[in-house]
Structure 1
Amino acid sequence: MISKEYTILAPEGIHARPATALVRLVKKFKSGISLKKDDKTIQLNSMLNILALSTKGGDVVSVVIDGEDEIEAASAVDVFFNEQLSTL
């Protein structure tokens, strides 16, 4: 299991466009991937789940990845949160 915290740098947070991109990204992997904000944890398999977290710029979230391809998934999620999220 891999767990990592990210601070959302995009001022708009995770809105519909990046939520869709994140769901598409995690569906490429067999590992279970979840997102935690405060005391709420969701599976990253639905855009509605992500939008329900109401993640804004400056929020800290944790991503938990568990499964056979967790290292590759963690690398892809890291690129998403550190490089792609602010451009979507």
Structure 2
Amino acid sequence: MKKTFKITVLEGLHARPTTLLVTTVNSFESEVSITYEGKTANLKSIMGVMSLAISAGAVIEISAIGSDAKELIEKITEVIISQGIGEEC
């Protein structure tokens, strides 16, 4: 399952929103990754996500594989939108 988002928070995915996203997905069993400009990182790893240096206006893809992938994508979508991190593409 995959979903694409545009990052709207002015600072991009700096420490606070990254921590929020990682915390959100860590309660799920599915494998989840984030892709930006052809580079992919495990969304359960703060350092992995931070290493992508995702800036404001960036388009990212979040993909999940596993038994609760649908619920994970629904939850991460809710968090990204409700916390003002980004919007669906």
TM-score by length of 2: 0.90
Aligned to 2:30: 31
Q: Distance in 2 between matches of 1:23 and 1:85?
A: 16
- Percent of pairs with identical residues: 31
**1:85 to partner: Cα distance:** 4.1
Higher helix share: 1
Aligned residues: 85
Q: Structure 1 residue 15 and structure 2 residue 17: aligned?
A: no
Aligned-pair Cα RMSD in Å: 1.0
What 5-or-longer segments of structure 1 have no aligned partner?
A: none
The answer to whether the 8 A contact 1:18-1:85 is kept is no
**1:73 to partner: Cα distance:** 0.4
**1:11 to partner: Cα distance:** 1.0
**1:72 to partner: Cα distance:** 0.8
Q: Distance in 2 between matches of 1:17 and 1:79?
A: 17
Amino acid across the alignment from 1:64? S
Aligned to 1:4: 3
Aligned to 2:53: 54
TM-score by length of 1: 0.91
Aligned to 2:67: 68
